[in-house]
Structures are given as C-alpha cells and as structure tokens.
C-alpha cells in the first residue's frame, strides 16, 4: 500500500478535480488525494511536490493547500514554461503524476509565541498560503501576525478573496508596483512596507518567499528592524529535478535546495545569496 | 490636547531627536488636516512645506495626457512627505493626495532651512534622518522598476 510513497522517484497518477485561474499567468490545480497511501498527502507548510505532466515533464511546485485539509491537494503555479503551460491545459478528470512531499517546511513551531511577519512577492504567496492556514487554525499560539504581499499590479494579485477573508486575525497589507485608477491600496515595492510595520523585532519570525532579489531586500529590511538572522526564513527556488538530492541540479553551495530546503534560515545562506557563481 | 513638541517627539522620523532640537524645529511646525481627495501639494508649485504623516494614507501621483493621475507610491502613518524643500528650486515634483482623512504636521520649509543654516548640528541631525529615507525610497523605486514578479520561469 505504501509502495508509491516509498519510491520517491515514481510519480503516482492523481485525478485533477478542478483548475482555476488566479490571474493572467497563474492557476491553482486541485488534485484528488484518494489514490495516495492513506488517501492523504501529509505535507507540511513550505514543502513541495514534483508534478508530472505525462508526456511533457516534471516541475517542482510548492504545496498551496491547507495542510490540515486532507480532502484535496492544491498547487498554484505560473504557466510560463512548457510543463506548467501543459499543466494549465489539463481538465478535470485528467491525471497528473505526483511525487512528494519533499523538502523542509516553514518553522511553524519556532514561530509559536512570537510575532510572525510573512512577506510574499508575486506567486511567492502560494507557498506561504499554508502558513496562513496553519496560523488561522491555531491563532492563539502566535503574537501579532502580518502578511505583507507585493504584486506587480492589482490584476496580478492571487488569492484575492482569501486575502480579504484573512485580514483581521492576520494584518494583511497588499502593495502593488503599478496601480491603475480605482486601486485604493498601497503602491510601491513590498519592502517599503517593512520599516513601518508593527511588530516586536526581537521576538519575531520572518518568512519570505518571492523572487530572489525581493527576498534579499526583504531580509535586509527585517534585519534593519532588528530581527535576528536565524529567525528569518526564505524559500529558495532553484532548478529542482530529482527532489532527492541525487542529481545535483539544485545545488546551492554546500546544500541541495530540494533536500536541504527549499526553506532555509537566512543565517545559513546569506553569504550564498550574493555569490554570482552559484 | 497634545502640544506640537509632544507630537513631534512621538513621530518615528524624529526618533532620537533631543528635546532642545525638537523645541527649535517646533517653531516651524503646525498641525494640518486634509480631507479625502484634497491635495497636500501639487506638481510644479513651490515646495514650501514638508510633512510628517501622523494618520491616514497619501498617494503620490503624476499626470499623464489621456491617462490621468498615475500613482507611483503611497505613504502612510509614520512616514514623511517631501524632500523638494531641500533642493533648489524648491518645487514639488508630483501631486500628493489624501486617500482618506489625513492628519499631518507641516513644517514651513523656509523657516526650517533657516534654522538648519543657523545651526549646522541641527541640520546634520535632520540630514541623518532624510538620507536613509531617501536611500530606502531610491532602492524601492529601483526594485519597482525591475518588474521582478514578471520574470519568466
């Protein structure tokens, strides 16, 4: 019964239950987990799966769904390459191969009792969505929780209804790089929200996901506020192929992103982030 | 009701300012209130004030033919509006519009420049606050212009 789980290299075909467009480039695919061992994925926030479009190839996509919700598996992805474009064309009832879950997750335990500052850029909100769900399920375990989210424009915002729903128990602040008439939210790069955000830096855990340049500046923003290096976490993205640390495609200095990440403490990788050779 | 000195002392931009220095610049400051939709400044007009934002949100805009007002940045509580008062010819480079009710402290620019000229220590303390803010905004503008979220797979 556990053969599929035991073989991390063999994708298990799962039925596509639904697919919905998030914005012009991104979509969320919902998979039926009933073919998985025990009928559930058992992922933690921050982990990823390898999704296999049969006949096309495989892509590493972070888990987007609520990890406490076993009845569905959600992945949000940008349809910008051949594999993800083919994934976008899938229809309910078709199958998608899945290997996983892989990698390290966000340090939810370390954040307990602390303020939590979640900083997301673009599609980088997708791997952080399970964090928000985990927080909402146990809201009393955390102090002040902020979600600072940056998108290119109002049309590019993903999970818009949920952002509105989350705002309250979580302080959600959205900023766009380019506004159009009618947008009454913040305008400016997301890192501009950090200096005035209200949290206790010494007792804060930061979780950051987005384009790498954005993550560097967001981490610097938290450091400037006084958040310790070892309490800032980034979800790295490299060319993940095998997801088991064997092929070496995602080597990042002495680490493999697929095996040792994708979530890393900033103090572990800060020196690597500015190395152009890797 | 709080005096202007107390209001200035609470604003993050002036954090660490000595009581004496606050007292000196308070002579150039006045409380202002702006209703939603009103303008704190207009592009091309004399930059005769700079503002500490105490409450509310402001959009910075420039106008483009046939496109109307283009918002390129928003500012909020705890932030500052205006650096044009520091740089000749002291004219605003953009419009600043109140999104909702805005409460701010407005500094008379000529008054403040005069006090900084008369007391370079005071001027240096102010510059130590303006320069990091300018650097932060320049970095943010650079990142904003890179269209980072649009990069391909």
Confidence of residue A2 (pLDDT cuts 50, 70, 90): very low
Q: What is the pLDDT of residue A98?
A: 95
Burial of A97 from C-beta contacts in 10 A (0-12 / 13-18 / 19+):
middle
The model's pLDDT over B49-93, given as tens digits with 9 standing for 90+, comes to 999 999 999 999 999 888 888 999 999 999 999 999 999 999 999
Q: Is residue A258 part of a domain?
A: no
Query: Are A113 and A225 in a shared domain?
Result: yes
Work out the minimum CA distance from A80 to partner chain B, whole angstroms.
Answer: 6
In this structure, are A84 and A157 located in the same domain? no
Q: What pLDDT shows up at residue B131? A: 95
Contact partners, residue B120, CB within 8 Å, separation at least 6? none
Q: What angle do CA B1, B4, B34 make, to 5 degrees?
A: 80
pLDDT interval class at B153 (50, 70, 90): very low
Of A122, A187, A192, the CB nearest to B59: A187
Q: Do A189 and B12 touch (CB under 8 A)?
A: no
Kindly report the nearest CA distance between residue A34 and chain B, in angstroms: 31
Q: How far A216 CA lies from chain B's nearest CA (Å)?
A: 11
- Chain B residue numbers with beta carbons less than 8 Å from the beta carbon of A183 are 71
Looking up tokens 């202002």 gives B32
| Spatial distance between the Cα atoms of B29 and A269, rounded to a whole number of angstroms | 46
- Option in A183, A187, A189 nearest B143 (CB): A189
Mean pLDDT of B136-141: 91
**What is the least distance, in Å, from the CA of B137 to any CA of chain A?**
8
- CA A247-A253-A258 angle, 5° bins: 45
Q: Are residues A47 and A145 in the same domain?
A: no
pLDDT digit string, tens, across residues A144-202: 999 999 999 999 999 999 999 999 999 999 999 999 888 989 999 999 999 989 999 99
A266 has pLDDT over 60: yes
3-state secondary structure of B81: strand
Measure A178 CA to nearest chain B CA, in Å. Answer: 7
Which contiguous run of DSSP H or E holds residue B70? strand B68-75
Taking an 8 Å cut-off on Cβ atoms, the answer to whether B140 and A192 are in contact is yes
What are the pLDDT digits (tens) for B5-48? 999 999 999 999 999 999 999 999 999 999 999 999 999 999 99
Q: Do A204 and A166 belong together in one domain? A: yes
Let me know whether A8 and A96 are in one domain: yes
The answer to whether residue A181 is domain-embedded is yes
Asked whether residue A249 carries a pLDDT value surpassing 80, the answer given is: yes
* Interface touch A211/B149, C-beta < 8 Å: yes
Same structural domain for residues A64 and A127?
A: no
Higher pLDDT among residues A155 and B2, named by residue: A155
Q: Are A81 and A174 in a shared domain?
A: no
Q: Which residues of B touch A122 (CB under 8 A)?
A: 148-149
Total structural domains in chain A? 2
- The residue ranking higher by pLDDT, A242 or A223, is A223
For residue B152, the model assigns a pLDDT of 47
**Numbered residues of chain A with Cβ closer than 8 Å to any chain B Cβ:** 78, 80-81, 84, 121-123, 150-152, 156, 175, 177, 179, 181, 183-189, 191-192, 195-196, 210-211, 213-214, 217
Residues spanned by the domain of A85: 3-102
Residues B69, A181: C-beta atoms closer than 8 Å: yes
In this structure, the answer to whether residues A184 and A67 fall within a common structural domain is no
Its sign, for the CA torsion B93, B97, B102, B108, is positive
On whether any CB of chain A is under 8 Å from the CB of B148, the answer is yes
Map out the domains of chain B with their CATH numbers: 4-150 (2.60.120.10)
Nearest to A48 by CA among A3, A103, A125: A103
CB pairs under 8 A between A and B: 73
Q: What sign for the dihedral angle of Cα A231, A236, A240, A245?
A: negative
pLDDT digits (tens, 9 = 90+) for A192-215: 999 989 999 999 999 999 999 999
> Angle, to 10 degrees, between the axis of helix B19-26 and the axis of helix B120-145?
80
A78 and A146, same domain (yes or no):
no
For residue A7, name the pLDDT band (cuts at 50, 70, 90). Answer: low
Say if residue A91 is in the same domain as residue A157.
no
Distance CA B52, CA B85 (A): 13
Asked if pLDDT for residue A6 goes beyond 80, the answer is no
Strand order from edge to edge, sheet including B29-34: B29-34, B102-108, B49-55, B80-81
Q: Which residues of B touch A121 (CB under 8 A)?
A: 148-149
Give the pLDDT of residue B1: 67
Residue of A187, A189, A195 lying closest to B71 (CB–CB): A187
B137 in helix, strand or coil?
Answer: helix
Contacts of B143 in chain A (CB under 8 A): 189, 191, 213-214, 217
Q: Residue A229 above 90 pLDDT?
A: yes
3-state SS track over chain A? CCHHHHCCCCCEEEEEEEEEECCCCEEEEEECHHHCHHHCCCCCCCCEEEEEECCCEEEEEECCCCCCCCCCEEEEEECCCHHHHHHHHCCCCCEEEEEEEECCCCCHHHHCCCEEEEEEEHHHHHHHHHHHHHHHHCHHHCCCEEEEEEECCHHHCCCHHHHHHHECCEEEEEEECCCCCCCCCEECCHHHHCCCCCCCHHHEEEEEECCHHHHHHHHHHHHHHCCCHHHEEEECCCCCCCCCCCCCCCEECCEEHHHHCCEEEHHHHHHHHCCCCC
Residues of B in contact with A186 (CB under 8 A): 57, 74, 76
pTM confidence score: 0.91
- A130 and A222 housed in the same domain: yes
ipTM over 0.95: no
* Amino acid A151: pLDDT: 96
Check whether residue A230 and residue A115 sit in a common domain. yes
Are A125 and A149 in contact by the 8 Å Cβ rule? The answer is yes
Please report whether residue A177 resides in a domain: yes
Q: Give the integer Cα–Cα distance in Å for A212 and A235.
A: 9
Inside any domain, residue A272:
no
Q: What is the CATH number of the domain that holds A28?
A: 2.40.30.10
């Amino acid at each position: 019964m556990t053969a599929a789980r035991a073989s991390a290299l063999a994708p298990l075909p799962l039925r596509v239950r639904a697919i919905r467009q998030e914005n012009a480039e991104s979509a969320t695919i919902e998979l039926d987990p009933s073919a998985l061992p025990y009928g559930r994925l058992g992922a933690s926030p921050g982990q990823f799966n390898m999704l296999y479009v049969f006949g096309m190839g495989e892509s590493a996509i972070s888990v987007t769904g609520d990890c406490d919700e076993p009845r569905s598996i959600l992945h949000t992805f940008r349809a910008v390459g051949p594999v993800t474009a083919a994934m976008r064309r899938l229809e309910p009832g078709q199958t998608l191969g899945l290997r996983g879950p892989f990698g390290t997750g966000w340090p939810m335990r370390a954040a307990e009792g602390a303020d939590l500052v979640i900083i997301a850029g673009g599609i980088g909100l997708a791997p952080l969505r399970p964090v928000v769900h985990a927080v909402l399920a146990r809201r009393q375990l955390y102090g002040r929780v902020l979600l600072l989210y940056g998108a290119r424009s109002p049309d590019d915002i993903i999970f818009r209804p949920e952002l509105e729903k989350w705002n309250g128990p979580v302080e959600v602040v959205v900023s766009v790089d380019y506004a159009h008439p009618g947008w009454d939210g913040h305008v400016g790069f997301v890192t501009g929200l950090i200096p005035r955000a209200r949290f206790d830096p010494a007792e804060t855990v930061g979780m950051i996901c987005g384009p790498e340049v954005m993550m560097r500046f967001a981490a610097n923003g938290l450091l400037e506020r006084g958040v310790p290096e070892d309490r800032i976490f980034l979800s790295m993205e490299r060319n993940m192929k095998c997801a088991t640390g064997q092929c070496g495609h995602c080597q990042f200095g002495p680490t493999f992103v697929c095996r040792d990440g994708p979530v890393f403490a900033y103090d572990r990788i800060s020196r690597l982030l500015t190395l152009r050779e890797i | 009701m709080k005096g202007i000195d107390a209001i200035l002392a609470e604003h993050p931009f002036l954090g660490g300012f000595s009581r004496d220095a606050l007292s000196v610049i308070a002579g150039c400051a006045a409380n202002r209130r702006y209703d939603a939709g009103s303008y704190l400044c207009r592009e091309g007009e004399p930059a005769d004030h700079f503002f500490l934002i105490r409450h509310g949100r402001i959009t910075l805009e420039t106008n483009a033919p046939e496109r109307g007002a283009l918002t390129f940045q928003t500012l909020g509580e705890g932030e500052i509006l205006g650096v044009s008062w520091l740089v000749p010819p002291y004219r605003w480079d953009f419009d600043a519009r109140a999104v909702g009710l805005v409460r701010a402290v407005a500094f008379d620019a000529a008054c403040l420049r005069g006090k900084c000229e008369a007391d370079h220590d005071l001027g240096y303390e102010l510059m130590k606050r303006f320069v990091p803010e300018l650097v932060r905004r320049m970095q943010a503008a650079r990142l904003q212009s890179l269209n980072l979220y649009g990069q391909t797979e």
